[in-house]
Amino acid sequence: GENVEQHPSTLSVQEGDSAVIKCTYSDSASNYFPWYKQELGKRPQLIIDIRSNVGEKKDQRIAVTLNKTAKHFSLHITETQPEDSAVYFCAATFWGEWGAQKLVFGQGTRLTINP
């Protein structure tokens, strides 16, 4: 079935430390994995994404790694700052009805950066 598991559900780190959020997906045909950040009371916004033909992608302090064999991908945030505090959602594509892809989201991780 369509399933994306995300862990942990909450994460608290000291400012300057690194944070890692992990997701697993159920369908080996999934080929696109975005990460969204949702600050309190605001809309989800894409922060980084990776496609299945790439194992790792980095954008400044944020990186995503993908292990297709194990069907899991991770978000890495280095040198965390207070503004990184938010809920982070992973997602993966699944083939829905009518042969079309859609995004299925993980449950979310509430990240808190402690000053």
Residues in a beta bridge with 72: 24, 67
Q: Is 43 in the site for another protein (CB under 8 A)?
A: yes
The region of 10-18, 39-47, 61-69, 77-85 touching another protein under the rule CB under 8 A is: 39-47
The region of 11-19, 41-49, 63-71, 77-85 touching another protein under the rule CB under 8 A is: 41-49
- The distance in angstroms from the start CA to the end CA of the chain is 41
What six digits make up the tokens of 105?
Answer: 């989201």
Q: Is 89 in the site for another protein (CB under 8 A)?
A: yes
Taking CB under 8 A as the criterion, the residue among 1, 70, 83, 100 binding another protein is 100
Q: Which residue has the tokens 């045909």?
A: 29
4 or 63, CB closer to another protein?
A: 4
Across 18-108, the runs of DSSP E, i.e. the strands, are 19-25, 32-38, 45-51, 56-59, 62-67, 72-77, 86-95, 101-105
What six digits make up the tokens of 87?
Answer: 């809920």
Taking CB under 8 A as the criterion, the residue among 75, 106, 109, 111 binding another protein is 106
Give residues in contact with another protein (CB under 8 A). Answer: 4, 6, 32, 34, 36, 42-46, 49, 89, 91, 93, 96-98, 100-108
